[in-house]
Chains A and B, each alone.
Chain A
Amino acid sequence: MPLLYGGRQLRRAARACMRRCSAPGADGMTWADYRRGLDGRLADLSAALREGSWQPGPLRIVAITSYAGKCFPVVIPTVQDRIVHRAIRAAAEPVLEERALADWVSGYRPGRSRITAVRAAMSCLDDGCGAVADIDVERATAGSTAQEVTGWLAAHVTDGTFLRRFRTALSVLPEPLMPGTGLCPMLINLRLSRVDVRLAGLAVVRFADNYCAFEATPARARAAFNAISDALAAEGLRPNPGKSRIRDAANAEDLFLIAG
């Protein structure tokens, strides 16, 4: 738990947040405002997290339009809550790296990117597995509750106090995985790690919420598609019908792209 409320951890989280220019939250406080009296603010935050009195601030919700033209809501937490989210991530991500995430998962992980996903796909294609079951998960960030998501994390983290603060952080969000918080990418991986464990035996690569399974024939790719669909269904998810398909042949560079 000191990994969350320790002064050094919170300062490091604050520094990481302040590196990026970002808009104020619903309380109107900017990073410039927060920097004034930073030591005192972080000390108070640390005490509140330690004692359990910390409560998330109000949220600002804005609409963002993606490159593909899709409009979706994004939450903007207060700058102080962003520090807490960052500290939670810093504490939990190494555990998830160690215990939860398969080697074939590339999105939102240190030292990995879409390039590493394409590289893994390239290796499968070079092995003669040119038929691809390409599945985009429909609404991977939608649904669930703070309690449910905390249960997912509890499969890997045993510190009860940490889990309670984690649940508190999520409790204010309209949906725990709603885009915009610093926690969202980690939570997508946490949620889909529960699907990933059901895919043993498939030559599969996941980048964010996009699975590609590589097979020698379209018929086998269809079987892999069904296997991934079944694994998603077990977690209350399903393929996005408009973005999921069997590719009889594919070039690696066209995989794991938006609207793919």
Chain B
Amino acid sequence: MGDSTWVLISGGMCAYGDDARPREIGPLWWTAIPVTPRHLGRRGAGADIPVTGISHAGAIAMAAGLGGRLPRSAEWEWMAAGPGRRRYPWGQADWRPDLAALLPGGHAGPVPAGTRPAGATPEGLLDVAGNVWEWTASPVPCGGFVIRGGSYASLPLYARTTFLNAAPAELRSAGIGLRVVRQP
């Protein structure tokens, strides 16, 4: 993966979750889009569709193979919401089809990553909302992990930067992929 696919997000104090608990977040490099087969060296049809159908353990291994790790949920929220606690990655505006691939858009599956520049974060991360949920490293009881961002099959509400979902670690869903972070 070339350096052009990574975006540096500065550290800061994240007001995390509904009750805005302060969490110190360090600077991190993020993949600009969810991981696709192209990141893994593949080419051809479907190379730009995010990787899905991968369990949490598989996502950890894939992230390590790309030289990084899965983000923690608070790190993800800091990246998506920023210090101003944006409602959506692009800002405060309500969802529109050109901002993110979500359920009202009528998609049958994940769409090519990075094709909605209007929905980028100010730093240029794409598909933070919609297209595929993203596994995080944050566990929840009963053997699950937090997933963030919503997918092509999700309501716009689930794509808000503070919305928390979780999935069983073994789930291999067509709606869950991953994004990778690494230390500067």
Q: Which residues of A are in contact with B by a Cβ distance under 8 Å?
A: 67-68, 111-116, 118-119, 122, 249-254, 257-260
Contacts and interface: CB of A to CB of B under 8 A. Distances in A.
B134 to A, nearest CB: 11
A252 B165 contact: no
Interface in B118-167: 133, 140-144, 147, 151, 153-155, 157-158, 163, 165-167
Interface string B69-109: 00000000000000000000000000000000000000010
Contact of B167 (A112, A118, A258): A118
B132 to A, nearest CB: 10
Nearest to B154: A254
10 shortest A-B CB distances, which residue pairs? A251-B175, A115-B144, A115-B142, A253-B167, A119-B168, A113-B142, A251-B173, A251-B153, A254-B153, A259-B157
Contacts of B133: 253
Contact of B141 (A68, A113, A122): A113
A115 B164 CA distance: 13
Given A114-B166, A257-B165, A260-B155, A252 B142 contact: no
A254 B175 contact: yes
A250 B153 contact: yes
B173 A252 contact: yes
B7 interface: no
B60 interface: no
A67 B175 contact: no
Contacts of B155: 254, 257, 259-260
A130 to B, nearest CB: 11
Interface string B1-45: 000000000000000001000000000000000000000000000
Given A253-B133, A253-B175, A253-B176, A115 B163 contact: no
Contacts of A116: 142
A67 B141 CA distance: 21
A257 B158 CA distance: 9
Given A119-B143, A253-B147, 14 more contacts: A67-B18, A67-B157, A67-B163, A114-B166, A115-B144, A118-B167, A251-B153, A251-B173, A251-B174, A251-B176, A252-B173, A253-B133, A254-B154, A259-B157
Nearest to A122: B171
Contacts of A257: 155, 158, 165
A115 B168 contact: yes
A151 to B, nearest CB: 33
A253 B171 contact: yes
Contacts of A114: 166
B159 to A, nearest CB: 12
Contacts of B167: 115, 118, 252-253
B157 A112 contact: no
Max chain A Cβ within 10 angstroms of own Cβ: one of B108, B140, B168, B173: B168
Q: Which of B140, B151, B165 has the most CB of A within 10 A?
A: B165
A112 B143 CA distance: 11
B173 A115 contact: no
A118 B168 contact: yes
A252 B166 CA distance: 11
Contacts of B142: 111-113, 115-116, 119
A106 to B, nearest CB: 9
Residue among B108, B140, B167 with the highest chain A CB neighbour number at 10 A: B167
11 contacts: A67-B163, A113-B141, A113-B142, A113-B144, A115-B142, A118-B144, A251-B175, A254-B154, A254-B158, A257-B165, A258-B157
Contacts of A118: 144, 167-168, 171
B166 A115 contact: yes
Nearest to A67: B18
Contacts of B168: 115, 118-119, 122
Nearest to B175: A251
